[in-house]
Structure 1
Amino acid sequence: MNFLDLFAGAGGLSEGFLRAEFEPIAHIEMNSYACKTLETRASYYYLKNNNMMHLYKQYQKTYHKKDNEREEKRKKLLSYIPEGIIEPIINEEISEKTLPQIFEMIDNRLDIMDNNEIDLIIGGPPCQAYSVVGRARDENQMEDDPRNYLYKLYIRFLNRYKPKAFVFENVPGILTAFNGNIFKNLQAYMKRVGYNIEARKLNAKQFGVLQNRIRVIIIGWRKDLDFDYPDIGPENMNYLINDILNDLPKLKAGKAYKKFNYRENPNKYLLESNIRDRDDILTHHIARPHIKRDLEIYKLAVTKWDKEKKRIKYTDLPEELRNHKNLTSFLDRFKVVAGDEQYSHTVVAHISKDGHHYIHPDIIQNRSISVREAARVQSFPDDYYFEGPRTSNFVQIGNAVPPLMAEKIANWFKEKLTQL
């Protein structure tokens, strides 16, 4: 069975379907760093399936090299993959202008695969225009944002390729944007091109992810097929956030860990969730720098949590640590990723701007979480290599669907589609 990934990002949703042994037709993504991440991940699967993982591990160990040296090693890595073997990673913005070219590339790929049918289309358009916070911050409430209507382009792919089913992921705000009219129109268009659909709010923590992350997952299936919405029961979890932090070497703000090894052996959760294997190489354990004032605030936030199990509010800060006069809104801008909780709060792309909402629970380390720690909160495996600078890594991670959540959805589709 195969799938086409639209608005693919760094491949969190795709990773779940790859683990379930779906074959990718193509990934389409406008961000160049995310496309490089997808290419590197494709090389991982090819090398793994052909008993050449030592070549991938060699590349992982270039993580701390200079950009030009690492890029040379990356070209060498990709050269091990015969031309035409892996799916095309199409680095294009999906628009009316680019659709003919994108369709042509997909059609060519289907010809190479000797296939005339796509089983699944997956993906979700950028969600900022539907975000409640995004609308609140924009003076026009995102009414003029062209991203409001990217779902129409998604539907163009449904209409052209007529897959058996699709998965459309987005933020809960898509249900209420513009008094619900966006979602009403989306439903109408999808039904018009031949699909029954159902939308549900699902929480990543139901799928074994240590994160409280609510997203709308729209499942659609062709009207000629006997389908319904997957009924995936909640996982009974007895793990804590510390279970994804404690094996990692201690790190100070502004530092990077360069030795590639771990502080402890993997625990049960890391092994069960496929976040870490026993012979993994540690990369991306790099923390952003912070100014002295922020570090003082982080200590106060961690102390308040440790002693009172309460989140610090901006109004709790001493006056000398405040840098603006807004004392009525966004008072929770400093937040600890509490190690003794079962679930983290939601990781979003804003983590690329600053780390105030993602403070490490260890007061000794006194920093925001590293790139690898953020990836683990999202359930990305440690062998997942994010291309680009630290800021781009955080954006890719914050925008992703947790792979563990995607895998559970993919396995349900695998079972269902084999029955058709």
Structure 2
Amino acid sequence: MPIQPVLRKPQSSKTYNKLGVPDANLPPSHGKTRTPHALNHEEKLIRSKLQRIRLGGEIRYVDMFAGCGGISLGFLTAGFTPVASVEMDPWAARSHGANFGARSAGGDRVAHHVPRDAVTETADTIFADLGLQGATDNQIDVLVGGPPCQAFARVGRAKLREQARLREEVTADQAFLVDGRVSLWERYVAFIRATKPVALLMENVPDILNHGGTNVAELVSKSLADEGYDVAYTLLNSVWYGVPQMRERMILVGFHRSSGISPRFPVPTHHLVLPSGYTSSKNAARRVLKAEGSEHHRWIPDPAPDSPVATSASEALADLPSLYAEEMLRTGAIRRGAKDPSEPVEYTAREPTTAYSRLMREWEGFATRSTTGHVFRYLPRDYKIFAEIQPGWEYPQVHAYVEQKIATWLAARKGRGLPTSTRNPDVSAFIKSWRIPYDPGKFPNKWWKLRADAPVRTLMAHLGKDSYSHIHFDSEQARTITVREAARLQSFPDGFVFKGSMNPAFKQIGNAVPPLFAYAIARGIRECLGAPETPDMRVALFDLKPSQVKTTEGTK
């Protein structure tokens, strides 16, 4: 049966200028000390928004640092209505506009497709640009977003240090501490202050819990508490929610104190014993929290062992056409140059062959009979290597295999009395056609071949530069993953459009929050807000019981 998430059709650009009569059932405020007039206005505003939501009105949201729209898609599918997005990258902003502009409050406008800088934009300027009338603090009910995380992430810190050393800065080792992106969370708080949402969501990398020795998540939480919000944060892995990818993230959820709602998180629905590399985040968090303490952190139970098993790579990529790289190279079907991801391709089966591929093909509002973006990188030296290495191999194993292959070839050549000097053209050509130059000690994770029977590792924005981190598990295809395969592994449906050529599309996907993960969080927020009950698409998709899609406050 088709997957039918809840979607609302775009409604007229009406605003809610008059405060509704406060619902007698709503609890009193416990906000911070403010002037009586401001506190009274804020309480009435929040109560008015809640009353409208509980009567079935739109739940309007703005997505800050939106990227191409992973969080936006999760919330849209859970029955929320997009109002605006803030995204600086031009290609990502165009992708967001292409997918959500026509679905936004007030209809499609050019303003939905333009890049915006969160540092210079304000809620007032954005709403005015969209032609929305009325008070700024009465336009939205939820603010979501993930401030850029490169400076918080370990790989991002290394890049910042490298760039600083090239500039011969004396503070190179601490470059990540002064990166301007770290303070963008303050712009997020400024938007909270201006728009007064009932609920909020912030997403970031786990290392935000230990940024230069500081738990930034706790700082953000305290700042939001000062704005009148009850907040909590935790670490969640997207693989626990049906996404075929191990992706650990800090998730912070909050509600205005006037609502009387306590933050809650989605309970994991899928089981997977995480590799050691994905448990280190929690171990590091435990050390930080033990040393510093935390008022706002919560622990969420691990998935129950009897939960459905995690979605595998082969389930995720089912029905997409096979692309045989070595054959395409021989026939000239692939060559150097920009790849056009917009060319449509047909599925290999008329009907979806896995539950996950059904979701990808029939996601409500994004259903499609064909897809796009099925293009991969031109890597003529490497296709033959991809064909010979084993699933699960990392770069050191690949490097050792290739060096052994070269040594074996040279030994056989020597045994036949042929020259083995690299000055010999045949020897030089053979070595050049196989040798991979990167230091295995410095780049242990540079290459990785997917396993068909397991979820994949975290997709990163670096996909926009190379895709060695995700080599297709099928040795006959012998290639890195395509744009569409990367999108599926992030849980973007096949009808979702990525603007730009291959590299910008890969970057957008790697930077995104998996929509299916965002959907689980959005469902939890919707439940907390007391919105009218709607079917949860995960129940039919993963054959879950309604009791399995629930939320928890977690434990301290």
Could you say if the C-alpha distance between residues 325 and 115 of structure 1 is closer, same or farther in structure 2, counting changes exceeding 3 Å?
closer
SS at match of 2:487: helix
The answer to whether structure 1 residue 102 and structure 2 residue 215 are counterparts is no
Bigger Rg over Cα: 2
Could you say if the C-alpha distance between residues 327 and 370 of structure 1 is closer, same or farther in structure 2, counting changes exceeding 3 Å?
closer
The residue that corresponds to 2:210 in the other structure is 176
Letter in 2 for 1:3: Y
Distance 1:35 1:154 in 2: 18
The residue that corresponds to 1:249 in the other structure is 321
Distance 1:14 1:100 in 2: 18
Letter in 2 for 1:275: M
Are the equivalent residues in 2 in contact too, given 1:177–1:183 (CA < 8 A)? Answer: no
Are the equivalent residues in 2 in contact too, given 1:355–1:368 (CA < 8 A)? Answer: yes
The residue that corresponds to 2:117 in the other structure is 93
Distance 1:259 1:160 in 2: 43
Are the equivalent residues in 2 in contact too, given 1:249–1:263 (CA < 8 A)? Answer: yes
Distance 1:8 1:375 in 2: 16
The answer to whether structure 1 residue 291 and structure 2 residue 325 are counterparts is no
Distance 2:317 2:218 in 1: 42
Could you say if the C-alpha distance between residues 284 and 169 of structure 1 is closer, same or farther in structure 2, counting changes exceeding 3 Å?
same
Query: What RMSD in Å do the two structures reach over aligned CA positions?
Result: 2.7
The answer to whether structure 1 residue 137 and structure 2 residue 170 are counterparts is no
The answer to whether structure 1 residue 121 and structure 2 residue 131 are counterparts is no
1:386 to 498, 502, 507: 498
Distance 1:391 1:191 in 2: 40
State the shift of 1:324 in Å.
Answer: 3.8
Could you say if the C-alpha distance between residues 229 and 153 of structure 1 is closer, same or farther in structure 2, counting changes exceeding 3 Å?
same
Are the equivalent residues in 1 in contact too, given 2:393–2:449 (CA < 8 A)? Answer: no
Could you say if the C-alpha distance between residues 189 and 396 of structure 1 is closer, same or farther in structure 2, counting changes exceeding 3 Å?
same
The answer to whether structure 1 residue 15 and structure 2 residue 73 are counterparts is yes
Letter in 1 for 2:151: A
Are the equivalent residues in 1 in contact too, given 2:67–2:512 (CA < 8 A)? Answer: yes
- Mark the runs of 5 or more structure 2 residues left unpaired by the alignment: 1-58, 162-171, 270-306, 326-333, 404-430, 533-556
The residue that corresponds to 1:365 in the other structure is 477
Could you say if the C-alpha distance between residues 344 and 323 of structure 1 is closer, same or farther in structure 2, counting changes exceeding 3 Å?
closer
Letter in 2 for 1:287: F
Letter in 2 for 1:196: D
Q: Given the two structures, how large is their TM-score scaled by the length of structure 2?
A: 0.62
The residue that corresponds to 1:267 in the other structure is 353
Length, aligned pairs only: 374
Letter in 1 for 2:467: G
Letter in 2 for 1:126: P
Q: Percent identity?
A: 31
The residue that corresponds to 1:53 in the other structure is none
Could you say if the C-alpha distance between residues 370 and 157 of structure 1 is closer, same or farther in structure 2, counting changes exceeding 3 Å?
same
Are the equivalent residues in 1 in contact too, given 2:394–2:446 (CA < 8 A)? Answer: no
State the shift of 1:6 in Å.
Answer: 0.6
CA deviation digits over 1:328-357, x for unaligned, max 9? 23223110121121x111111111111111
Letter in 2 for 1:352: G
Distance 1:259 1:124 in 2: 31
SS at match of 2:138: coil
State the shift of 1:413 in Å.
Answer: 1.5
The answer to whether structure 1 residue 403 and structure 2 residue 489 are counterparts is no
Are the equivalent residues in 2 in contact too, given 1:25–1:110 (CA < 8 A)? Answer: no
SS at match of 2:177: coil
Letter in 1 for 2:489: V
- Mark the runs of 5 or more structure 1 residues left unpaired by the alignment: 47-82
Distance 2:138 2:103 in 1: 24
